[in-house]
Chain A
Amino acid sequence: MRRGALTMGKNSRAVTETIERFLDSTLESVDDAEELALQEAEKAGVPEDDLHKIAMAVRESMVNAVVHGNRYNAHKKVHLSVTKSPAEFVVTIADQGEGFDYEHLPDPLAQENLLRHSGRGIFLIKAFMDDFQVRRLEPAGTEVTLVKHLVSK
């Protein structure tokens, strides 16, 4: 399914554009979402240094949604939304899983956790994006919002 929305400014110039996808809970969807986000970020004029960071943050978030959220369940979808505006590039990723406690994740930089196999995904997303929000959905699901500011700092 594909939907797009344009919001027109007073001078009839498009100021925001949103692209949405409903993706299967597969690793192929992880690649597809990453590719779409990368393409749209390039179109939005995101600096080269930030393109890889956005792609990787989207990848990590999609893996969380597909693997930990929907647990590869063929009946559950991942809702991907990419919104471009002059000020920011925003990606939201929502799964239909049972969710998990984002507030109390082990610190991957703690000495006792350094050699753990997993647990670095959320840390990397936070490191790579300007803003990261998590919201529980009703009746089930988790939505994460990834933001990269485009205005010069």
Chain B
Amino acid sequence: MSVKLSTRQVGDVNVVDVAGRITLGEGSSALRDLLRDMVGKSQKKILLNLGDVSYIDSSGIGELVSGFTTVTNQGGQLKLLNLTKRVKDLLQITKLYTVFDVHDDEAAAVRSFA
């Protein structure tokens, strides 16, 4: 199973519900393409809901980081929602947990966008 991405709008925040695997190949490139597309359409308040992500490898971590820098460099914000324990552990051992703004509650996450 690869990744499934679906987008929805909550106020002026674009929420991306990510499910499945963000791994080298289709999974990570699909996420990269979607984030670039969103930034291209000036959708710069992006909340990635990773609650249904079963697996993420170093390539997937790379895509999260690249997405973060792409959105930030365009004056936007990319935040993370509902990390599974595995993803949280990965971000902690790679010291990326403090780089991202991570939330457990969607409503609070949406409100946190300036």
Contact digits for B89-107, partner A, Cβ 8 Å, 1 yes 0 no: 0100111100100000000
Specify which chain A residues have a CB less than 8 angstroms from the CB of B65 in the assembled complex.
114-117
Q: Which residues of B in the span 45-84 have a Cβ within 8 Å of any Cβ on A?
A: 55, 57-59, 61-63, 65-66, 68-69
CB atoms of A56 and B62 under 8 A apart: no
Partner of A63, one of B57, B95, B99: B57
Q: Report how far A147 CA is from B85 CA in the complex, Å.
A: 24
CB atoms of A109 and B23 under 8 A apart: no
A contacts with B: majority SS: helix
In the assembled complex, the CB of B22 is this many whole angstroms from the nearest CB of chain A, namely 12
Q: Is A135 in contact with chain B by the CB < 8 A criterion?
A: no
Q: Is B36 in contact with chain A by the CB < 8 A criterion?
A: no
The 9 closest A-B pairs by CB, nearest first: A120-B58, A117-B62, A121-B58, A27-B25, A117-B66, A109-B95, A118-B62, A127-B93, A115-B65
Contact digits for A21-37, partner B, Cβ 8 Å, 1 yes 0 no: 00000010010000000
Q: Is A44 in contact with chain B by the CB < 8 A criterion?
A: no
Give the tally of cross-chain contacts (CB within 8 A).
46
Q: Is B86 in contact with chain A by the CB < 8 A criterion?
A: yes
CB atoms of A108 and B86 under 8 A apart: no
In the assembled complex, the CB of B32 is this many whole angstroms from the nearest CB of chain A, namely 10
Known pairs A27-B25, A109-B95 / 17 extra A-B pairs, C-beta < 8 Å = A52-B86, A56-B55, A60-B57, A108-B94, A114-B65, A114-B95, A115-B69, A116-B62, A117-B62, A117-B63, A117-B66, A118-B58, A118-B59, A120-B61, A124-B58, A124-B93, A124-B94
Specify which chain B residues have a CB less than 8 angstroms from the CB of A52 in the assembled complex.
86
